[in-house]
């Protein structure tokens, strides 16, 4: 537990400066990218809800700050969360993260949840995301809407 929290803290420290000012963000080194990948994958499987939620938000922030970096390694774990997490709030956050990661596989998963999720709120959010997938200008408004709902 302490190791994971310290790893998460390290990741946040590594990105505190670049995320604060996205216009002046510097390229990440290969070592940093590999550490991020290792930590993100481990944290998405963590038992702590806070660690998993923070990691999903970190993925969104990383994609906003470094749009050219490949974060597709996180799509499958996010799809699993979207499909089977018992908490509707986490399924909504996973859908939002998939929306920001912008992969075809993630889009398919969000569209399927819009049709087949048992929770009406999750289905509604997924349907809204699926309709707005190609519209870059709407991505920030969904984050605010999900924060209000949680």
pTM: 0.74
The model's pLDDT over 1-28, given as tens digits with 9 standing for 90+, comes to 655 555 555 455 455 544 444 444 788 8
Nearest to 124 by CA among 114, 133, 137: 114
- Listed in sequence order, the DSSP H helices in the chain are 2-20, 30-44, 49-65, 75-84, 88-101, 104-116, 120-131, 139-149
What does the block give as tokens for 14?
Answer: 């590594």
pLDDT at 125: 96
Alpha-carbon distance of 7 to 35, in angstroms, equals: 9
Highest mean pLDDT, choosing among 12-21, 80-89, 135-144: 80-89
Confidence of residue 147 (pLDDT cuts 50, 70, 90): low
Cα angle 17, 19, 22 (rounded to 5 degrees) comes to 105
């Amino acid at each position: 537990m302490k190791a994971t929290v310290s790893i998460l803290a390290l990741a946040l420290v590594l990105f505190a400066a670049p995320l604060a000012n996205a216009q002046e963000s510097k390229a990440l080194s290969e070592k940093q990218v590999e550490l991020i990948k290792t930590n993100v994958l481990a944290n998405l499987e963590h038992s702590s809800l806070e660690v998993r939620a923070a990691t999903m938000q970190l993925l969104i922030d990383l994609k906003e700050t470094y749009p050219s970096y490949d974060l597709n390694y996180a799509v499958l774990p996010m799809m699993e969360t979207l499909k089977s997490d018992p908490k509707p709030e986490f399924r909504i956050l996973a859908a939002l993260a998939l929306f920001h990661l912008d992969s075809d596989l993630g889009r398919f998963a969000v569209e399927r949840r819009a049709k087949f999720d048992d929770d009406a709120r999750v289905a509604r959010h997924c349907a809204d995301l699926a309709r707005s997938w190609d519209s870059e200008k709407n991505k920030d408004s969904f984050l605010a809407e999900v924060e209000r709902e949680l």
